[in-house]
Structure 1
Amino acid sequence: MDLSTKKTYFLITGASKGIGKCMAIECCKKFVKNSLAVLVARSASGLEKTKNEIEQNNPQIKVKVIPMDLTKANSNDYDNLLSDSVGNCFGSDNFERAIIIHNVGSLGDVTCKAKDFNDNQKWSEYFHLNVFSVAALNSQFIKKFSKCEKIIINITSKCAIEPFNSLTFYCSGKAAREMYFRCLANEEAIDSKSNILVLNYSPGPVDTDMSLEIQNKSSDDNIKEVFGNMRAKKEILTPIQTTKKFIDVLEAKKFKSGDHIDYFD
């Protein structure tokens, strides 16, 4: 897959910092003239910084920032987001390829054990951001770009397929989220007219605010030690390392739609 050959609509959530910011910048280096990058996150100032770096690297593409709190958004909000982003100047039919990276996500409470989580409201709030909102946005994205080739990327984790002490919220949310995308890929695989490709990419342990929070606040001493040692030995990945691997995986296109690909695979 050559990312530099088609006029592309590109949307990424959580684009104001960390992995999302890095993926936005590096992917946009590839896109052809008049492609459109749409950056979504809560922090307007963070999105503007990402936008500025993108425009310095590739002034031929258009960049729009949409500050939005996805913890409260619903299906109508996503429909408006997509419609407003393409606007009158573009139109969803003017693109040859549409790419979405579902990067947004939260860690949840890591200070307690699984047996201690008895608050339905906290569970609901966590799953709204990390699963329900992702599925709703994804559905609207597919409808909006029904006629062109679509590449859907879910930023997942090893936590989606293996339990880790103190990461009950995170593991549960990542597992549910990845299963949604695997179901989507399976259904599309039996549709001869489908133009959807799905990738679940696990970026590995990366030096971000989230991994630092695990190191500092986890209720499990072993988890704390693991992340502490990785940082001390400089073995923890940087956002640019995992982003470059992600782009290599995507362009090589050796995966089956719906596959879980880890940085270390």
Structure 2
Amino acid sequence: MAAKRMDLNRRTFLVLSGSSNPLGQSLALEFCKRLATGSLALILDENEQQLKQLEEYLQRELKPETIKVRMGKLDANHSNGADIMEQALKASEVQFERTIMIHNEGEAATKVLMEPQTTQEWKSYVQQQLYAPVALNQRWLHSKDLVQVQKLAVNVTSSLMIRPMIHVGLLCSCKRARDMFFRAMAAEESRNGVHVLSFKPGLLSTHQTQCDVNGNEINPEDLVASKQVLQLPRIQPLQATLKLINILEEISFVSGHDVDYYDTFVL
């Protein structure tokens, strides 16, 4: 499969799912800054306060006549994301040239460390971290409002959380399953011109001390046995975002492949 480059300066319907962590906020601003006039950005998250703060921030930083930004509050299971997306599309009368779906993880990537104990807790976690992104992605792929529109899906995955570690067995499992879904989707949808990229942003400087289900504080470093991994430089959210944009616009990528921030330090 040939390598692909993308000029982001196109009239775009952008969907960013998971904006409550610093990486999500950086992705929202930097992608919106590069989209062409007439674009629409739909920002999804369950944290209403974070959504409001991000909306105010984007209003200050972006020119309102250039791009419209719409915020969508997800329910506890993230099961309403597809409906919010359809409503945003129906309210827009723009003929988009491209649509980009970015699946970020929100707070689970930097604050939440939980190994649920009950069956219901497990089901709820998997629904939020795996089933909901897949359902949103499938509605996006087959939306009648996006027929004949070039599509790019970006799965923000992890350099760390796909490794077997204590306390994060469920998160690691969901991460692995999500990665496989996007690989399979790249193969399945290549015939329809859909491009898929899984991007590992590196060990972010914003990873915080986390708590397990019993409230015990655990440093991310305590979860990793590999000294080689711990010696990798910590990455600022803006660095990771600019690296992703550079891969899309300059370096190029092969649909279905994983790209890790540490693969090259070229920015």
So what's the TM-score if we normalise by structure 2? 0.81
- Per-residue deviation at 1:61? 0.6
Partner residue of 1:133?
A: 132
Q: Higher relative contact order by CA 8 Å / sep ≥ 6: 1 or 2?
A: 2
5+ residue gaps, structure 2: 1-5
Q: Give secondary structure in 1 for the equivalent of 2:29.
A: helix
Unaligned runs of 5+ in 1: none
1:102 offset after TM fit, Å? 0.6
Q: Equivalent residue of 1:90, what SS?
A: coil
**Which residue is 1:3 aligned to?**
8
Between the aligned partners of 1:219 and 1:89, the Cα distance in structure 2 is: 45
Contact 1:214 1:223 in 2 (8 A): no
Shift of 1:225: 9.4
Q: Aligned runs of 1:172-191 on 2, under 5 Å?
A: 172-189=173-190, 191=191
2:35 to 28, 31, 39: 31
Contact 2:114 2:211 in 1 (8 A): no
Question: How many Å apart are 1:165 and its aligned residue?
Answer: 3.2
Write out per-residue CA displacement over residues 139-170 of structure 1, whole angstroms, 9 at most, x where no aligned residue: 00111223200110111012465323332122
Quick one: distance in 2 between partners of 1:111 and 1:43?
A: 18
The change in CA–CA distance for 1:110 and 1:219 in structure 2 (over 3 A counts) is: farther
- Matches of residues 1-265 of structure 1 in structure 2 within 5 Å? 1-4=6-9, 6-59=10-63, 60-69=66-75, 71-74=76-79, 77-90=80-93, 94-104=95-105, 106=108, 110=113, 119-144=118-143, 145-159=146-160, 161-189=162-190, 191=191, 194-208=192-206, 210-213=207-210, 217-218=217-218, 222-223=222-223, 235-252=233-250, 254-265=252-263
d(CA) in 1 for partners of 2:90 and 2:77? 23
TM score, norm. by length of structure 1? 0.82
Q: Equivalents in 1 of 2:70, 2:220: separation in Å?
A: 41
Matches of 1:164 and 1:140, distance apart in 2:
33
Q: How high is the sequence identity, in percent, across the aligned residues? A: 28
| Greater helix fraction, Structure 1 or Structure 2 | 1
Measured on the aligned residues, the alpha-carbon RMSD in Å equals 3.0
Q: Secondary structure at the match of 2:175?
A: helix
User: Which of 36-45 and 47-56 deviates more?
Assistant: 47-56
- For 1:226-248, what per-residue CA distance to the aligned partner results, in whole angstroms no more than 9, with x for missing partners? 99xx7xx9942211111111111
* Whole-angstrom distance in 1 between the partners of 2:221 and 2:53: 36
Query: Shift of the alpha carbon at 1:104?
Result: 2.7
Q: Which amino acid aligns with 2:171?
A: Y
Query: How far apart are the structure 2 equivalents of 1:73 and 1:61?
Result: 25
Residues of 2 paired with 1:171 and 1:63: CA distance?
32
Q: Is the 8 A contact 1:205 1:211 kept in 2?
A: no
Give, as a single letter, the amino acid of the residue that structure 1 aligns with 2:73. P
Matched-pair contact (CA < 8 Å) for 2:210–2:219: no
Give aligned pairs, total: 248
Q: Which secondary structure state, in structure 1, belongs to the residue aligned with residue 71 of structure 2? A: strand
Q: Do 1:160 and 1:178's aligned partners in 2 also have CA atoms closer than 8 Å?
A: no
